Amino acid sequence: MASIELDRVSFQYRGARGEAIQNLSLQVEDKGTHALLGASGAGKTTVLNLLSGLLQPSSGSILFGGRDVAGVPSGERQVAQVFQFPVLYPRMTVQENLMFPLGNAGWKKADAAARAFEIARELGIENTLSSGVGALTVFERQLVAIGRALVRPDVALVLLDEPLTAVQPELKWRLRRVLHKVQSDLGVTMIYVTHDQTEALTFARAVSVMQGGRILQTGSPRDVYDLPDHQYVGFFIGSPGMNFLDAEVRHGRVRIDGIDVATTTATDGLCVVGFRADWATLGADGLPVQVLGFRPDAVQNDLPVGVVVLERDQRKVHVRAQGRVEPGSAWLRLERHLLFREGCRVA
C-alpha cells in the first residue's frame, strides 16, 4: 500500500455546530506502527472511520500510496478494523470466524482453513480453533477479532480502535506484545487509537497527540515526552504531567517573581516555564516552594523513591526525589526546562 497520508482533511457530522476534524494532515509510513493519542472527543475514532471509508471527508484528500481514496468504498481499501469490544459471530467456532472473511472473498474452504490456522498460530490461539467464541476469555476473543482483521493477505492497513479497553489490566501488556510480533511478522501497517499514554508510547514508533479535532504534535515517543511542541502535549503525556509556572524572560534569564531560575536564548517577554518532575531538584536555594506531601512508588538502596508534591503560588508542582521529604518550606532548582508562549514551545 506504501505510505498513508491525510492532506488538510476536515469533517463535520451532520447537524453538528463545528468540525470534528479540522484541516488535519498526517503521514503514516508503510508497515509502521502509529498511535493516535488523546482524550475522549479528540477526534481519534473519526480519523479511523475516515481511513476505513465509513466516513467521507468534507474537504481534503486521503491518499493510500499516492492514490486519493476519498469516495472509494470501504471494501475496496484493503483496510481492516478492530473495535473496542470484540465483534464476533457467536454461533460460529473460532475457526469459522477466522475463515468468514476469506469465504466472502471466494476462497476455497481448504485454503481458508489453512490460512485461518496460520493466523491462529501467529496469535497463539491455534488450540481454540474448534471452540465456540462464547467459551473464550475476553483476551482470547480480542485475539480472534484481530486474527479476523489479519486473515486476508491483501489487508495492508489495520485500524485498532481502543483494542485493550475490555482486556484485564494484567493482560494488556501481553496483547501489545502479540500485536508487535504479528505486525513485524506480517508487515502490515497498524494505526492504534487510545486515550492511554502507556499503550501509545509502548506500542507505536510514531505518536500523534490530538485535541479538539487537531493534531498538536507527531513524533517518536521520546520526542513527544522530552520536547512537547504544545503545553497540552506536555501535560497530557507523563505521570505526573509536565509542571508549568508563569515566568518572564529578561536579558537571557528566566525569572519567576523576580528570582532567576534558568538561562535562555528566547526573546524577552512573558512566558510559561515547563519542566518534568525529574528535571528539577530540591536544594538549599532556588525558588521558594511549600512541600505538601510525598508519594513513594519504589525503594532504592533502602530509601523510598517517589514524587514530592509542592505548591507555588497556589499551583501544585511535582518533583521526583529519593528519600522521604517532610511537609514544610523548601527550595526548587530547575536542571532542565522548556519555555512556552501562547501554548506553544519557543525554547
Please write the tens of the pLDDT for every residue from 249-280.
999 999 999 999 999 999 999 999 999 999 99
Task: Provide the 3-class DSSP secondary structure of residue 275.
Answer: strand
Q: Cell numbers at residue 134, please?
A: 462464547
What fold characterizes domain 4-236?
Rossmann fold (3.40.50)
177-181, 232-236, 243-247 — which is least confidently predicted?
177-181
pLDDT at 254 (0 to 100): 97
Element (H, E) at 23: strand 21-28
pLDDT at 245 (0 to 100): 97
Q: Where are the domains of the chain?
A: 4-236, 243-345
The fraction of the chain above a pLDDT of 90, given in percent, is 76
Q: What is the CA radius of gyration of the chain?
A: 24
**Could you tell me the strand order of the sheet in which 4-11 lies?**
21-28, 4-11, 59-64, 67-68
**How many H helices and E strands in the chain?**
8, 21
Signed CA dihedral, 310, 316, 319, 321: sign only: positive
Tell which wins on pLDDT, 247 or 1: 247
The fraction of the chain above a pLDDT of 70, given in percent, is 99
Binning pLDDT at 50, 70 and 90, where does residue 1 land?
low
* Statement: residue 97 has pLDDT above 90: yes
CB 206 within 8 A of CB 218: yes
Binning pLDDT at 50, 70 and 90, where does residue 2 land?
low
- Residue-averaged pLDDT of the chain: 93
* Statement: residue 344 has pLDDT above 80: yes
**Averaged over 194-198, what is the pLDDT?**
94
pLDDT at 176 (0 to 100): 87
